[in-house]
Amino acid sequence: MAKLYFRYGTMNSGKSIEVLRTAHNYEEQGKGVLLFTPAIDDRYGTGTVASRIGMQKSAVIIDEHTDMYALAKAQKPHCVLIDECQFLNKAQVSQLTDICDDLDIPVIAYGLRSDFLGQLFEGSLHLFAIADKIEEIKTVCWYCNSKAVMNMRCKDGIPVFEGEQIQIGGNESYIPVCRKCYKSLKVKAGTRA
């Protein structure tokens, strides 16, 4: 039986390079891959999965009308990959389980666990609840050598602790930090930890 994998990490942990590496490994063996990315993530152009080191690949754009199940059923890939899966909604995560359970195609979803305030994204919440296998992609804190578990939002290099949950950005907007450094910077900013 095919499985649903949720591979999560902070910003800058290498999730997108892992998506691209996995797609390459399947394709190098002559196996088909169906690669999805949410329309909301347009940092490198809509419909593009890109890593900070310069690798990129075109992907099928997911929006509220995309039927990932129908596309997987029609294309019959060996694997379905999703980048930035935190932006999925509950119904879309359910489609991923149908791809695994009904079509026997493994699905690997890559994304953030939580936002800059430590709150779970909708897609991540539902993937944590129903994924067959959950794996962390690790990186280190920007300020110390501890494991990063938080995404620190910054504006002009200054930590920000309020705002909308979704703000698309890269290194100019987010850095990976450990919980201790996050809490310390939050106190310094005059916000309750």
- Please give the positions annotated as active site: 84
Question: Which pair of structure tokens corresponds to residue 61?
Answer: 């754009």
CB neighbour burial string for 61-97, b if at least 16 within 10 angstroms, e if fewer? bbeeebebbebbeeeebebbbbbbbbbbeeebbebbb
Question: Which pair of structure tokens corresponds to residue 179?
Answer: 């919980």
Phi, psi of 19 (to 5 degrees): -60, -50
Alpha-carbon distances of 133 from 1, 170, 185, rounded to whole Å: 13, 27, 33
Rounded CA separation 83/7 (Å): 10
Question: Which pair of structure tokens corresponds to residue 111?
Answer: 């994304």
Rounded CA separation 74/34 (Å): 11
Alpha-carbon distances of 153 from 22, 79, 106, 149, 186, rounded to whole Å: 28, 33, 33, 13, 11
